[in-house]
A and B are shown apart, each in its own frame.
Chain A
Amino acid sequence: MQFPPGYGSHPPNYSAPSGHYSQVPNKAAASHLDHQYRASYYPGYYSAPAQNVMTPSVGSTVLNAQGSQQLYNKTPPHTGGSSDGPVQGAISSASYLHMSAQQSYSAFDNHYSTSVSSSVASQGFPLNSDHYAMPVVSGAMYPNVPYPPAAAGSAYGQTFTSQSLPTVGQFKETNAFSSQSTSVPHSLQQHVPAGYNTTLSTISSAQSVQDNLCRNLPGSVAKVNNQIKTGGIDSSQPVHSVSQNVPFTKPGVGTSASSAVVSSVRSPAPSLSSQPSSSPSVTQSPELALQEALDSSSTTSSASPVLNNYDALEGGGYPDTRSVTSSPVPAPSVPQTSKASKPFGYGYPALQPGYQNATPTTPVQPSNPGHHPGFQHYPQQYPGVNQLSSSLGSLSLQHSQQPESLRPVNLTHDRNILPVSSVPAPVPNLNSDLRKLNCSPDSFRCTLTNIPQTQALLNKAKLPLGLLLHPFRDLTQLPVITSSTIVRCRSCRTYINPFVSFIDQRRWKCNLCYRVNDVPEEFMYNPLTRSYGEPHKRPEVQNSTVEFIASSDYMLRPPQPAVYLFVLDVSHNAVEAGYLTIVCQSLLENLDKLPGDSRTRIGFITFDSTVQFYNLQEGLSQPQMLIVSDIDDIFLPTPDSLLVNLHESKELIKDLLNALPNMFTNTRETHSALGPALQAAFKLMSPTGGRISVFQTQLPSLGAGLLHSREDPNQRSSTKVVQHLGPATDFYKKLALDCSGQQTAVDLFLLSSQYSDLASLACMSKYSAGCIYYYPSFHRTHNPAQAEKLQKDLKRYLTRKIGFEAVMRIRCTKGLSIHTFHGNFFVRSTDLLSLANVNPDAGFAVQMSIEESLTDTSLVCFQTALLYTSSKGERRIRVHTLCLPVVSSLADVYAGADVQAVVCLLANMAVDRSVSSSLADARDALVNAVVDSLAAYMSTASNLQQSMLIAPNSLKLFPLYILALLKQKAFRTGTSTRLDDRVYAMCQMKSQPLVHLMKMIHPNLYRIDKLTDESTIHVNDRVVPQPPLQKLSAEKLTREGAFLMDCGSIFYIWIGKNCDNSFIKDVLGYPNYASVPQKMTQLPEVDALSSERTRSFISWLRDSRPLSPVLQVIKDENPAKTDFFQHLIEDRTEAAFSYYEFLLNIQQQVCK
């Protein structure tokens, strides 16, 4: 990799699958630059693609600007690097940033002070060339561009002065019409890998850039990737640099970024168009890039499978800002722009006429009559602001008669209630601007998207109120903001977010506690548009998911390095299972991909009846094993050489990993001293904190924390009491708390063939914010499916993002209160979750209650702030904000119910209930939840016949999901379920994010033997068929078909006896049904259409989840058949109802 070690301060956020970048066939001649780009791009761990789409003359400078920001945002080591740059030895990064602002910003000179070095700087864009090989290109690029010293293209668009109004207007046009535009010369696009903007510099030639883009237009995927970096580098000067990387792919845009309209309007500055890098446009560039991208993305978003947060900005985001850039005074002169840009309105039919009338009079927002997403930021400017909230409310009321979600469904009659494709998250009933700004449902979901006004109303609805969070999710787009002050409410410490209201330019009102706060001086400056006086345009206020790079206020000690400790079981049982080979192999393969920086440390402990340490100190010829047999009083033999720097001792580590699998082959030690090994691990980790990965294969039998078998196999299928769901000892819990206090998380990999008391062992991860993996009956050769799964899980586990010493706080609007949390963490004070580590696959749930009536507000907001140390040693804060409407009628509450979230929250509550009370109680509670809510609904809808079981459309899947839960391993009774399996399923329920949990509860079944091209989608240049979802019932299985069941962590392919031979031949690669082997875990690559379709469908399903599922092909006589049929939850089993019986049962109870 060409990045200096200190480089990647931002990348960790961008672990986006980058598929379509790579797979798009080159439509233009590949330039070597492009190759260079790719070369530098793919090696990155966090291959997040981002593209910058720039209008004409913009490109190159922006590019530089971004490069430079990148530079600034970077950690110190980099500045050193930059000063070595060929051109600009003298340029300090700060001066580079601020250089020419003074002319236009004379009023704010003190803030945006100019440095004379700007002219130098302008040529010094390539200043980081030593890293990025850029200078040559850019030199070629701007041979004749005049860079006036004061107006050079710096990050901050200092060139305002040279910007003429017409140009301004036309930029607007550009945005408005870009999608229809055809004129090539103006368009310059570039795509920038979000994390590594460095590469960007390698492609800073207009042509190559354009090529790049063209190449990257698969045509169907629209994706906006926004990366905003605000760089306040020079702490004395509050400067922000923002880079927006907006990748989008859109047919035709590659060649048509600017329209005819644009060029005509641009005529005042004709030279601009011919010179892509001329300064006026430079000033506009990032913003333009953003807006245009937004625009175009919005036009294509319907085709886009990627969730697009940023089309939110489309309507209101662009219009007014650029007018401001042209002059130091924010509002003044550009009314005509607004007129020029008519087309904004069309997207907002719901808009109240009142707003449209009101706006044109407002000088500040000349161009967007009311469509501005942030229009609520200006309450006092609209005569009817106070009606704003009420009008929002009424809006939602009008709309809430989404007849769809309230349409009564007769459950006993409608048999096909499953949607064709996956169940979408309900969209909160907000006004369209707010809706677009709202947080993605993947990160943040509420069980009721219409919040009831009072607790009484909530009680009446009989639905749980809570949030489902996936805060550290891998995001493809995330604005990262560096700023010397992070704007927060002074009383409740809420981070500023899109849902605050700006009372005037200088004050904002917190949306959670309603306190009026001052807008800090530097927040007035918008680095994105490089304009002053528009706090509502700041990225913090335009995005509901942002990440701040925290200042030193947020840390007392220096950020901890990434420290990984592996604690491996090497007893006879473990060696027999053969997991060591897989673990060591995976580690060897991923050693370089472990997240971390130059300080990363790693260590190993193995244990059987003794504990073995490994001295890996640099300089040793080979790893030294140190055995401590005093397990009652464990100590560290050589405390400072057991955890070693990964880079310094890499050879020794590799030696050890190569040797480990064979070191214990002949061991006869059957005991396992897990407790002492953990104590040693804790001692080793406590000075730094970090992550302990424990691999255990049996019941710990020696030393502290030893456990006894508690499971009675005869009770496995008992319908009565299931015991021992709680821990047998508090040793592991205490250890976890100690670890949590030392910022250490313990991740448990349990690979056992017999009972290992997961209920007790899991505590070590539960309270230290670790994660739990369980591989029942693991054996490397006898159970290849599990072995493959372990391998894949490990790959993900080792390379995924990690956040250390994290805390998470969830705030909500006054009146709501959070009372219970679910997930793996420790609650440190009532609203603060302590997470020693946070990983992208962890989900959380919270339950809430309404303490005060919400009658005086029409919107409530929830904010999650996750403060963590990235693996690069940066303190970062990821903030998600969700905004939901408040409703006063019961019908509206039902209309907004999010059935998946409700079910997931209920599952979490049921787990708690079964541990604290009993499984039977939990099951009853689940059934009662359905009965109560349906009864409550039916009593509200008085005109319904009582004899039928009616559910609102929004809840029509509720009984089905609850039945699925009751048949889930965690809660089922009557079917033989091993205690560990049950406990593991419960652990998963508590810690999985909603999407994965739903697959666990209710798998998806598809028929795959007749995949057609109908309703296919195109992803990454692949055609992905979209077969309809099938009911989970054996009636859907035909002997002639082949079916795929997606259970989240495992795929089953069931093949009917009379399945078409051509399918078996093409897809499975065997001549006929009889020759298909019992244990088949992979589909061969056969060159046939059906094979291709099946494989692309499966890989599409796989791509959607972090842990790659294992595939199992099942024939009729396969022992795994029972597993498959157990998932057919609509069918009757010996111990449980069929779906129809369940409905009748519910109906009986409802009518009682």
Chain B
Amino acid sequence: MAFTFAAFCYMLSLVLCAALIFFAIWHIIAFDELRTDFKSPIDQCNPAHARERLRNIERICFLLRKLVLPEYSIHSLFCIMFLCAQEWLTLGLNVPLLFYHLWRYFRCPADSSELAYDPPAVMNADTLSYCQKEAWCKLAFYLLSFFYYLYCMIYTLVSS
């Protein structure tokens, strides 16, 4: 039983993974909120409601945008840590997501300073369902990796 760097990595990633799970859940809720306007149809058609709804959308998109970088950086931190700890299997599991994140990050339209989650773009039903699926997948991935990290942490702690 030794407190190795790998064990430290797993402990840290366990904590951060909890944060990522939280992010994913938040994303799911946010997209659901964007998708459905919880108002009666008549209310929806209301000009006064329009403003409120629009504010909501903008606020959500703003938060979504704010969360992108933390999430991506936390995840890259994992990868770097596992790379340093030479945990190749764990690294291998995380690399696909890392590449996906990089792709997402750099794919944004060339001229726009905006990242993703631009209100008019996000409200497209296609984009929205894509984002929602993405959020669910990430949630699943983070949950699984949470338990995997937990297992690995104990394993490294016990084995060495």
Whether B124 and A741, one on each chain, are in contact in the complex, defined by CB atoms closer than 8 angstroms, is no
Chain B 37-48 near chain A by CB (<8 Å), digits 1 or 0: 100011111111
Q: How far is the CB of A1073 from chain B (nearest CB, A)?
A: 49
The 20 listed contacts between A and B (C-beta, < 8 Å) are A493-B41, A554-B42, A555-B47, A556-B48, A689-B47, A723-B111, A730-B112, A742-B51, A809-B41, A809-B45, A818-B125, A819-B124, A819-B125, A819-B129, A826-B54, A826-B120, A828-B37, A828-B50, A834-B50, A867-B45
Cα A114 to Cα B34 with chains together (Å)? 52
How far does the alpha carbon of A834 sit from the alpha carbon of B53 in the complex, in Å?
A: 11
- Does chain B have a CB within 8 A of A553? yes
CB of B3, distance to nearest CB on chain A (Å): 48
Asked whether any CB of chain B lies closer than 8 Å to the CB of A203, the reply is no
B100-131 residues with Cβ-Cβ distance < 8 A to A are 109-114, 118-120, 123-126, 128-129
CB of A815, distance to nearest CB on chain B (Å): 16
For residue A1107, CB closer than 8 A to chain B, the reply is no
The verdict on B66 contacting chain A, using a C-beta distance below 8 Å, is: no
Chain B residues within an 8 Å CB radius of A915: 109
Whether B160 sits at the interface, judged by CB under 8 Å, is no
Pairwise interchain contact A805-B47, C-beta atoms closer than 8 A: yes
**Could you tell me the distance between the alpha carbons of A831 and B111 in the complex, rounded to whole angstroms?**
29
Whether, in the assembled complex, B159 has its beta carbon less than 8 Å from a beta carbon of chain A, the answer is no
Q: Can you name 20 extra interface pairs (CB under 8 A) apart from A759-B111, A830-B35?
A: A553-B42, A556-B43, A723-B111, A726-B109, A730-B112, A730-B113, A730-B114, A741-B50, A741-B54, A766-B120, A805-B47, A807-B50, A809-B45, A820-B124, A826-B123, A827-B124, A828-B53, A828-B54, A830-B123, A832-B45
Give A720 to B143 CA distance when docked, in angstroms: 45
* Cα of A728 to Cα of B51 in the assembled complex, Å: 26
Contact with B along A350-364 (1 / 0, CB 8 A): 000000000000000
CB distance from B105 to the nearest CB of A (A): 16
Asked if A727 is an interface residue, CB under 8 A from chain B, the answer is yes
Q: Indicate if A829 sits at the interface (CB-CB under 8 A).
A: yes
Query: Which 5 A-B pairs have CB atoms at the shortest separation, nearest pair first?
Result: A829-B37, A741-B54, A827-B123, A805-B47, A819-B125
Enumerate chain A residues within 8 angstroms of B48, measured Cβ to Cβ: 556-557
Chain A 725-764 interface mask (CB, 8 Å, partner B; 1/0): 0111110010001001111000000000000000100000
B49 at interface (Cβ–Cβ under 8 A)? yes
Q: How far is the CA of A729 from the CA of B50 in the complex (A)?
A: 25
Contact B112 A727 (CB under 8 A): yes
Contacts of B34 in A (CB 8 A): 829
- Residues in B neighbouring A867, C-beta threshold 8 A: 45
A916 at the B interface (CB under 8 A): yes
Q: Given A830-B123, A832-B37: A726 and B45 within 8 A (CB)?
A: no
Residues in B neighbouring A723, C-beta threshold 8 A: 110-111
Q: Determine if B109 and A828 form an interchain contact, defined as CB atoms under 8 angstroms apart.
A: no
Nearest residue, chain B, Cβ from A559: B47
* A821 vs B125: C-alpha distance when bound (angstroms): 9
The answer to the question of B58 belonging to the interface, with a C-beta cut-off of 8 Å to chain A, is yes
Contacts of A828 in B (CB 8 A): 37, 44, 50, 53-54, 57, 123
How far does the alpha carbon of A553 sit from the alpha carbon of B41 in the complex, in Å?
A: 11
Say yes or no: is B55 at the interface (Cβ < 8 Å to chain A): yes
A7 contacts across to B, CB distance below 8 A: none
Identify whether the interface residues of A are mostly helix, strand, loop, or mixed.
mixed
| Interface flag for A27 (CB, 8 Å) | no
Residues of A near B51 (CB, < 8 A) are 741-742
Interface size range of chain A in the complex: 35 or more
> Which A residues are within 8 Å of any B CB, using their own CB?
493, 553-557, 560, 689, 710, 723-724, 726-730, 733, 737, 740-743, 759, 766-767, 805, 807, 809, 817-821, 826-832, 834, 867, 915-916
Q: Are A740 and B118 in contact (CB under 8 A)?
A: no
In the complex formed, the residue of A with least CB distance to B120 is: A767
Q: How far apart sit A819 and B120, CA to CA, in the bound complex (Å)?
A: 14
Complex contacts, B47 vs chain A, CB 8 Å: 555-557, 560, 689, 743, 805
Q: What residue of chain A has the Cβ atom nearest to residue B52's Cβ?
A: A741
- Cα A727 to Cα B48 with chains together (Å): 29
Q: Which residues of B contact A809 (CB under 8 A)?
A: 41, 45
What is the minimal beta-carbon distance from B139 to any residue of chain A, in angstroms?
A: 21
Residues of B within 8 A of A767 (CB): 120
B54 touches A737 (CB 8 A): yes
CB distance from A737 to the nearest CB of B (A): 6
> B49 to A556, Cβ gap below 8 A?
yes
B112: A residues at CB distance < 8 A: 726-728, 730
In the bound complex, how far is the Cα of B34 from the Cα of A276, in angstroms?
A: 62
* Interface of chain B residues 47 through 77 with chain A (CB within 8 A): 47-51, 53-55, 57-58
- Taken together as a complex, chains A and B put the C-alpha atoms of A733 and B58 apart, in Å, by 12
Q: Which residues of B contact A737 (CB under 8 A)?
A: 54, 58, 119-120
Contact of A820 among B35, B36, B50, B125 (CB under 8 A): B125
A848–B112 Cα distance when bound, in Å, is: 28
Distance of A831 Cα from B36 Cα, bound (Å) = 9
A819 close to B126 (CB less than 8 A): yes
* A829 in contact with B120 given A727-B112, A807-B45, A867-B45 (CB within 8 Å): no
Known: A556-B48, A726-B111, A730-B113. A741 touches B55 (CB 8 A): yes
Evaluate contact between A829 and B55: CB separation under 8 angstroms: no
Shortest distance between the CB of B73 and any CB in chain A (Å): 23
Scoring B42, B43, B45, B124 by chain A CB atoms within 10 A of each residue's CB, the highest score goes to B45
What are the residues of chain A within 8 A of B45 when measuring CB–CB? Answer: 554, 807, 809, 832, 867
Q: Hey, which chain A residues are within 8 Å of B119, CB to CB?
A: 737, 826
Complexed CA–CA distance, A723 and B118 (Å): 20
Contacts of A829 in B (CB 8 A): 34-37, 44, 53, 123
Quick one: closest A residue to B43, CB to CB?
A556
Contact partner, B113, options A557, A729, A741, A916, Cβ 8 Å = A729
Please determine whether A740 and B54 come into contact, CB atoms closer than 8 angstroms. Answer: yes
Per the bound structure, the CA–CA distance linking A916 and B119 in Å amounts to 15
Residues of B within 8 A of A826 (CB): 54, 119-120, 123
Contact with A along B16-44 (1 / 0, CB 8 A): 00000000000000000011110001111
Q: How far is the CA of A832 from the CA of B58 in the complex (A)?
A: 16
Expressed in whole angstroms, the Cα–Cα distance for A832 and B125 within the complex equals: 11
Q: How far is the CA of A385 from the CA of B123 in the complex (A)?
A: 42
Report the bound CA distance from A777 to B142 in whole Å.
57
A805 cross-chain contacts in B, Cβ below 8 A: 47, 50
